[in-house]
């Protein structure tokens, strides 16, 4: 079956908002490929540094090895690489909101949908597998609250559409994103 998706769609939002899970489901529904910018970053880092896959398993490992500034460069390069892919769904990293060049690239290359969720609920999900490096410090919740507040405002400032995901199932989120994306492509708001 041919996809009805006229343009690639990027999902943005805080860590833990469900970008990857929702992205996989949307790609399946729309019959287009799914790409995760974190996976692209990991592959780019491994290729550039010739790192063994066991040493660099995820974007967190890249962040720990490179630091925030270099990681943001990898993030931009991952998005730049993804602009060459045919129509697809992309799950972007949570920090893309604070990377001006990446935001511009996203807005120009994709229909950007912000998956918005209650930050306090996401915090529990985010730290359930260990405190991420960007929250290291004496009060991870305070750091998360600061980051979440800042990034949510930034996502709102550049997304094409926003979908509230708090308390919804994956199927409900996918249905809602599908509706707003098709409305956007049909000129509605």
Model pLDDT for residues 105-137, shown as the tens digit of each residue: 999 999 999 999 999 999 999 898 888 878 888
Q: What is the pLDDT of residue 6?
A: 82
The single-letter DSSP state of residue 50 is T
What's the CA gap between 171 and 98, in Å, rounded?
A: 29
115 or 2: which carries more pLDDT confidence? 115
Q: Which helix (H) or strand (E) holds 20?
A: helix 19-30
What's the CA gap between 140 and 68, in Å, rounded?
A: 17
Residues whose CB is less than 8 angstroms from the CB of residue 5 and which lie 6 or more positions away in sequence, other chains included:
30, 32, 87, 181
- pTM strictly above 0.85: yes
What's the CA gap between 36 and 29, in Å, rounded?
A: 17
Q: Report yes or no: 16 and 71 within 8 Å, Cβ to Cβ.
A: no
Domains of the chain (ranges; CATH) run: 9-183 (3.40.50.300)
184: three-class secondary structure by DSSP: helix
pLDDT tens profile 46-92:
999 998 888 888 888 998 899 889 999 999 999 999 998 989 999 99
Q: Which two tokens stand for residue 90?
A: 């992309």
What's the CA gap between 119 and 182, in Å, rounded?
A: 27
What's the CA gap between 42 and 60, in Å, rounded?
A: 9
Which phi and psi (to 5°) does residue 91 adopt?
Answer: -100, 120
């Amino acid at each position: 079956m041919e996809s009805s998706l006229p343009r690639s769609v990027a999902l943005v939002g805080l860590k833990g908002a469900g970008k990857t899970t929702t992205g996989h489901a949307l790609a399946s529904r729309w019959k287009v490929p799914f790409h995760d910018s974190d996976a692209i970053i990991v592959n780019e880092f491994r290729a550039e540094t010739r790192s063994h896959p066991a040493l660099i398993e995820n974007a967190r490992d890249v962040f720990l090895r490179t630091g925030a500034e270099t990681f943001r460069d990898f993030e931009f390069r991952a998005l730049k690489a993804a602009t060459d892919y045919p129509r697809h769904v992309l799950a972007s990293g949570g920090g893309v909101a604070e990377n001006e060049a990446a935001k511009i690239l996203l807005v120009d290359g994709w229909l950007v949908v912000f998956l918005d969720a209650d930050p306090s609920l996401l915090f529990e999900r985010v730290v359930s597998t260990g405190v991420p490096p960007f929250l290291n410090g004496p009060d991870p919740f305070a750091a998360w609250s600061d980051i979440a507040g800042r990034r949510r405002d930034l996502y709102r400032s550049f997304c094409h559409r926003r979908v509230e995901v708090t308390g919804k199932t994956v199927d409900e989120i996918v249905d809602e994103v599908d509706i707003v994306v098709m409305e956007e492509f049909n000129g509605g708001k």
